[in-house]
Amino acid sequence: MNLSLKIWRQKSPSDKGGFETYKVDANEHMSFLEMLDVLNEDLIGQQKDPVSFEHDCREGICGTCNLVINGSPHGPQKGTTTCQLHMRHFNDGDTITIEPFRAKAFPVIKDLVVDRSSFDRIIQAGGYISVNTGSAPDGNAIPIEKEEASKAFDAAACIGCGACVAACPNASAMLFVSAKVSHLGLLPQGEVEASSRALNMVKQMDQEGFGNCSNVTACEAECPKEISVENIARLNREFLGAAVGSDKAV
């Protein structure tokens, strides 16, 4: 496959970036990141600066491979991360535009790499539970209704990649925050901090410069783990309940 790649290049956060076009010969069985590896090998062979992009597990688990491909976070394939996207979803002769996630709270470090430490600070603000130290308790010691456990498990599937932010016209992080609030708050172990968790994480989200949610639902459509916007409704209930001083949102 002969492809043209329009890639965002930016040397540092303070430099002005722009698109540069490259040609690459790829195999349809390659993953998208393997195709970028081939491009970088060619650039290094030409003694040129390779394209910086993030990756780690390359198995759709870590959420590191945050790229906007032809205008879609993680590319055109629904329910997949960039590393799970394969070149068979493109055609010979295609022009592919590749750029970093765009958000005030995700400043560009270099090329396609952005700083997502804002997500870490949101987690630090309330994404935890208080437990006594010691050995792990028996898995069945606390009975949990199947429906609630399933909802918590679905919310916990969030990998914190930031695609929801990149997809939102307001660069809102509500889907990410709501997933973290839901997967802890739905379980008995997380109910102790439920009210303070919602207040503190939303406060930190606002401080980081993320936009407001306007119910566009593009976040759910682009999420590689298909996290439901029902979690946003749950977060709103938790937040409003905590804001008016109730022990538990209704």
Bridging pattern class, strands 72-73 and 68-69: antiparallel
> What percentage of the chain has pLDDT greater than the value 90?
85
Beta bridge partners of residue 108, listed in sequence order: 114
Do 51 and 129 sit in the same domain of this protein?
Answer: no
For residue range 86-127, list pLDDT tens digits in order.
999 999 999 999 999 999 999 999 999 999 999 999 999 999
Q: Is residue 97 part of a domain?
A: yes
Q: Which of 208, 196, 197, 195 is nearest to 121 (CA)?
A: 208
Q: Please tell me the distance from the alpha carbon of residue 151 to that of residue 155, in angstroms, as a whole number.
A: 6
Show which of 90, 110, 130 is a domain's final residue: 110
For residue range 28-77, list pLDDT tens digits in order.
999 999 999 999 999 999 999 999 999 999 999 999 999 999 999 999 99
Number of domains comprising the chain:
2
Residue-level pLDDT at 248: 47
Would you say residue 146 has pLDDT above 70?
yes
Helices (H), the chain: 32-45, 117-126, 146-156, 163-167, 174-185, 194-208, 218-222, 230-243
Provide the domain limits for residue 11: 2-110
Show which of 110, 127, 159 is a domain's final residue: 110
Residue 109 main-chain phi, psi, to 5 deg: -90, -55
Asked if 176 and 222 count as a contact pair (C-beta separation under 8 A), the reply is no
Do 65 and 127 sit in the same domain of this protein?
Answer: no
Residue 97 CB neighbour total at 10 angstroms? 15
Residue-level pLDDT at 179: 97
What is the arithmetic mean of pLDDT over 230-240?
95
Q: What is the DSSP letter of 79?
A: T
Task: Find the range with the poorest average confidence among 10-14, 82-86, 135-139, 173-177.
Answer: 135-139
Q: Is residue 249 part of a domain?
A: no
CATH number reported for the structural domain that contains residue 166 in this entry: 1.10.1060.10
What is the arithmetic mean of pLDDT over 181-188?
92
Q: Please tell me the distance from the alpha carbon of residue 30 to that of residue 173, in angstroms, as a whole number.
A: 32
Residue-level pLDDT at 245: 74
Would you say residue 228 has pLDDT above 60?
yes
Bridging pattern class, strands 108-110 and 95-99: unpaired
Beta bridge partners of residue 211, listed in sequence order: 172
